[in-house]
Amino acid sequence: MAGVTLSGVTKEYDNGFQAVKNLDLDIEDGEFLVMVGPSGCGKSTTLRMIAGLEDISGGELKIGDRVVNDVHPKDRDIAMVFQNYALYPHMTVADNIGFALKLAGRPKSEIKERVGDAARLLELTDQLDKKPGELSGGQRQRVAMGRAIVRRPQVFLLDEPLSNLDAKLRVQMRAEITELQRSVGVTTFYVTHDQVEAMTMADRVAVINAGILQQVAAPQTLFDEPENLFVAAFIGSPSMNLMEGTVTDAGGGQYKLQLGSHSLDLPSEIVNSRPALANYFGKTVVVGIRPKAFEDAAIDKDHGSGLHINTTVENVEALGYEKIVYFDIDAKRVIQEDALDLDEDADVIQHGDGTRISGRFNPASKVKVGEPVTVAVAIEEAHFFDIDTGLGIRG
């Protein structure tokens, strides 16, 4: 096994387009790191550079202690699992799994033993004599994983491996791949556009957009402490509610947060924990509040320490275990586009009139579309961002 280090790695095509820009990323030995971002963000290009399928325009790539910028893919000691599995339809499962070993000239006895070990690990022992066309989607995915495992590489690379599966099977395979990675302990780099996959599978998640690495952290840290608006909006489902607001010092250690016509008490603990927020008193900032911070005040009168917004229910999605409730407030909305590029001169934020808020209500809530509702707000969970740069306001 080995770690992977990308230092200032850039990919620029002949037409001048930069798919990846000055990427610094360390994947630790044995770590399961997931890179996530929207379509065209540079995540698959990054994986292909690690694999040697794309040339590196600038920077340095190391696998273990070896610089591999100019090393042929077959000599990098990596194994890939592709989106379409890339199985040979005329071969049996056993032959598919052991094909790389056969090409390497390994003895038949060794191939049989290693294929058998991989099959037992992946619960494919009873399928070894079948052809890929006789297997389910999940079984074909396991065969593709087995073909990677049997080589005993230093690094696994997985490129959107679950995108062709139905929703139920994706959930099952997420758990199986995570358990498998922990079992074999191989350094793993996994790319996906699905933030749920990233959050549920990874030791750490790297969020990338427009070729620029936005943040690398443990899943919960990304959710709780997003460094910028892109991460705040991209991570979480439903996504974070973003709107314009103003923080003011009301004197005597009291603070106010103005969201449109709604004035909410802002506990001093919030301001004290973010000293930089004092530089924004009286100025417009972006306020981010996740759906879980809103609750039907009739259900939980203590939620939000008595901070309430009176509004009207616009829509309700009853999911059984919770209700997603939509309502409007008159604070200007902030729209976070997928194409956000945090370069210095980027116009990162679009503004609109009024904000449609999503809240996660207790399923016992009796709210109905078109009726008034009093919403309790856990304002201590609010996030604040600079309206010009999109960066979080923290220290």
- What pLDDT, in 10s, does the model give residues 160-201? 888 878 888 888 889 888 988 998 899 999 999 999 999 999
Predicted confidence (pLDDT) at residue 31 exceeds the cutoff of 90: yes
* Tokens found for residue 317: 């999605």
HSE value, Cβ hemisphere, 13 Å, CA-based, for 182 = 8
Helix axes 137-149, 93-103, angle to 10 degrees: 20
Yes or no: say if 158 and 144 are a contact pair by the CB < 8 Å rule. Answer: no
Name which of 171, 84, 176 is nearest 132 in CA terms: 84
Considering only CA atoms, which of 7, 35, 10 is closest in space to residue 209? 35
Classified as helix, coil or strand, 87 is: coil
Residue in this structure with the two tokens 């489902």, named with its chain if needed: 237
How high is the pLDDT of residue 297?
A: 92
239-251, pLDDT tens digit by residue? Answer: 999 999 999 998 8
Phi-psi region of 253 (alpha: psi -120 to 50; beta: other; left: phi over 0): left
User: What b/e readout covers 5-42, taking b as 16+ CB neighbours within 10 angstroms?
Assistant: bbeebbbbeeeeebbbbebebebeebbbbbbbbbeebb
Which amino acid, 141? Q
pLDDT tens readout for residues 195-229? 999 999 999 999 999 999 999 999 999 999 999 99
Q: What is the pLDDT of residue 345?
A: 39
DSSP string covering 271-300:
HHH-GGGGGGTTSEEEEEE-GGGEEETTT-
Q: Mapping DSSP to helix (H, G, I), strand (E, B) and coil, where does residue 169 land?
A: helix
Q: Which tokens is 226 given? A: 């997003």
Give, in order, the Cα–Cα distances in Å from 5 to each of 46, 274, 282, 369: 12, 33, 44, 52
Burial zone of 251 (CB within 10 Å; 0-12 exposed, 13-18 middle, 19+ buried): exposed
Residue 176 has a pLDDT of: 87
The pLDDT value recorded for residue 157 is: 95
pLDDT of 337 reads 60
Using CA atoms, how far apart are residues 170 and 137, in angstroms rounded to an integer?
Answer: 10
Tens of pLDDT, residues 106-162: 999 999 999 999 898 888 999 999 999 999 888 888 898 888 888 889 999 999 888
Rounded-to-integer distance, Cα 278 and Cα 283, Å:
10
List Cβ neighbours of 289 (8 Å cut-off, separation of 6 or more): 240, 241, 357, 377, 379, 381, 382, 383
210 burial level (CB within 10 Å; 0-12, 13-18, 19+): buried
Is the overall model pTM greater than 0.95, yes or no?
A: no
CA dist 367 → 94, 238, 360, 371 (Å): 57, 19, 12, 7
Question: How buried is residue 140: exposed, middle or buried, by Cβ count under 10 Å (0-12/13-18/19+)?
Answer: buried
pLDDT confidence of residue 347: 43
- Residue 354: band (very low, low, confident or very high) from pLDDT cuts 50, 70, 90: confident
Q: Does residue 316 sit in helix, strand or coil?
A: strand
SS3 call for 178: helix
Q: For residue 194, give both structure tokens.
A: 């699905």
CA atoms within 13 A on the CB side of 64: 10
Phi, psi of 340 (to 5 degrees): -55, 130
Question: Residue 306 — very low, low, confident or very high, per pLDDT cuts 50/70/90?
Answer: low
pLDDT in tens, 359-388: 999 999 999 999 999 999 999 999 999 999
Tokens of 118: 């991989």
pLDDT of amino acid 351: 53
Q: What is the pLDDT of residue 183?
A: 87
Residue 350's pLDDT is what?
Answer: 53
- CA distances from residue 244 to 69, 81, 218, 378 in whole angstroms, order as listed: 45, 43, 28, 17
pLDDT number for residue 193: 92
Average pLDDT estimate for 79-105: 88
Q: What is the pLDDT of residue 170?
A: 85
Give pLDDT tens digits for 50-82.
999 999 999 999 999 999 999 999 899 999 988
Look-up: residue for tokens 């325009």?
57
Confidence grade of residue 342 (pLDDT, cut at 50, 70, 90): very low
